Structure 1
Amino acid sequence: MSVFDLGPALLFCPADRPERFTKALARADAVILDLEDAVAADAKAVARGAVIESELDPDRVIVRVNPVGTGDFEADMATLSQTDYRTVMVAKAESVKRLRKLDPRFRVVALCETARGVVNADRIADLDNVVALMWGAEDLVASLGGTSSRKANGRYRDVARTARARVLLAAGARGKAAIDAVHLDIGDVRGLRREAKDAAATGFTATACIHPSQVDVIREAYLPDGKQISWARAVLAAAETERGVFAFQGRMIDEPVLRHARAVLRRGGAD
């Protein structure tokens, strides 16, 4: 299974909490076993052991490993070599040279969450072993010396919005999947729904989340409603009898609009 096929809701799970692994995978479209920030330094060895002992569907598992060039990264990759898990999310991905040299057995989700990583996103997306890009807001702002990625109203600051767009464009330009960042305020369901809807509308393949309660909100946001699906089917049917640009329901229709319609049907499982 390709990372493109996982589904829209990817749930992070601390790798040192093996009692949660099966439940997390059952709840979400895929689980991201986190060996990086979610695990304290003195618990990483235990977490690696838990990953080795786990028996999850490898097609629906991504393992977030520590940044390339660290001792923890080397230990993480040695751990994964003892498992069937072959999709890794590389934290704080920055160096094209280092990412290119990773073990070719592994598919890479490059997490561009620093200023350098975002600036290099286009070159990272061009790597053959990279199947997807994700971005992260808090580490990005920290790398700039800032203190908050969001304004008081909960909306992203401009620098975060710029990074989000840049990573999405880099992934899209290279035909790779793009994963939207987590929404840290678990209680802010409205904000999560707004951002997930925007992610789906602009071309993100999935949104990562940190709590099971966020999964259904994301799935619903990515799923087109009945009106959108009906419009997509109707406009594509009309296109079969029209040539070139044509008018449909008072709107000019050309090939980009037809591609939008096809995307709606794909997300709705109705193509």
Structure 2
Amino acid sequence: MTRGRIADATTLLFVPGDRPDRFERAAGSGADVVVLDLEDAVAASAKGAARTEVVRWVSSGGRAAVRVSAVGEAAHEEDVTALQALVAGDRQAGLVGVVVPKAQDPAELARLAAALPGMPLLALVETAAGVLDARSVATAKGVVRLAVGHLDLAADLGADPDDAVVHHARHQLVLAARAAGSPAPVDGVSTQVRDVAAVQADALRARRGGMGGKLCIHPDQVEVVRQAFAPTAEEVAWARLVLEGGDGVDVVDGQMVDRPVLLRAQALLARSESAS
């Protein structure tokens, strides 16, 4: 079962909204949040049918977030209207949040929050404007967390997705989220669907860089990402050893331990408990 909380999710699994045959498998994948996608994964001609299937799912016992079409796209208002009907009809129990693509305008995010009162928003930053205004995006009404869509961002920048400028944008989001007091951002997808080593490497890099989770595009990626974000047995043992020394300055395994090291140890243990 999904935990369904965007704010503390480590794994968020996208499923095309026009593939209802995949909804059940996604729900059983172990992902913290299933995201039914009405945007990039669905052809324009199939968006109406996808919207119908998504509404049916979340109003009949399924738990998922929904990625709506981007502001300015023809389908955006129709997507929002469909979700409004769920909320107004008190059938939104299965709707755990809304993923907002191309998030860059705090006013537009606030407008969406007002249209869907109480619904957590995951702001997917995919443009240069969104990166440069990431702190304002993070503090916009309704937004509980940031995520990076690095493939769209690379296209917006005219850069390679693996170029340093895209990694720099990730760092910008980590800083903005911390400054805003919001959870660590969610990293973008790994396009190597079944290449376990590549997905693991991507997830470990994201974790080292301060990200708090990762978007997934296949159920096989979910457990790989979860394990990559969980502290290793060696890290947990180190953290416990550090905390045994108390609050003062100490030396553990030849390393000076002071307050910043203690805080890191505490964070590792908290993450380990959350992952278990």
TM-score norm. by structure 2 comes to 0.87
Which residue, 58, 73, 76 being the options, matches 2:79? 76
Say yes or no: does 1:121 pair with 2:134: yes
What is the aligned partner in structure 2 of residue 47 from structure 1? Answer: 50
- Note closer, same or farther for the CA distance 1:203–1:57 as it changes in structure 2 (3 Å cut): farther
Summarize the Cα distance change of 1:195–1:145 in structure 2 as closer, same or farther, 3 Å threshold: closer
What is aligned with 2:259? Answer: 255
Contact 1:92 1:117 in 2 (8 A): yes
Tell me, in whole angstroms, the C-alpha distance in 2 between the residues paired with 1:13 and 1:56: 17
1:197 matched to 2:204? The reply is: yes
Which residue of structure 1 lines up, in the alignment, with residue 178 of structure 2? 172
Counterpart of 1:10 in structure 2: which amino acid? L
Match of 2:107 in 1: 97
Report the Cα distance in structure 1 between the residues aligned to 2:65 and 2:43, rounded to whole angstroms. Answer: 19
Contact 2:121 2:144 in 1 (8 A): yes
**Conserved? CA contact 1:14–1:39, under 8 Å:** yes
Distance 1:203 1:108, change over 3 A: same
Residue pair 1:110, 1:130 contacting (<8 A) in 2 also: yes
The number of residues matched between the two structures is: 258
- 2:119 and 2:73 map into 1 onto residues whose CA distance is 18
1:143 aligned to 2:156? yes
Structure 1 outlier segments of 4+, above 4 Å: none
Greater shift, 97-106 or 86-95, is seen at 97-106
Gapped runs of 5+ residues in structure 2? 87-91
Q: Tell me the percent identity.
A: 40
3-state SS of paired residue (1:101) = helix
Give the residue type in structure 1 aligned to 2:256: M
Among 215, 218, 228, the alignment partner of 1:221 is 228
Q: 1:166 to 1:56 in 2, by over 3 A?
A: farther
CA distance in 2, matches of 1:212, 1:228: 27
Tell me the amino acid that sits aligned with residue 140 of structure 1. L
Native 8 Å contact 1:4 1:205 kept in 2: no
Structure 2 counterparts to residues 26-45 of structure 1, below 5 A: 26-27=28-29, 28-45=31-48
The counterpart of 2:27, out of the listed 25, 28, 32, is: 25
RMSD (Å), alpha carbons: 1.8
- Tell me the distance in 1 between the aligned counterparts of 2:68 and 2:26: 18
Gaps of 5+ in 1: 150-155
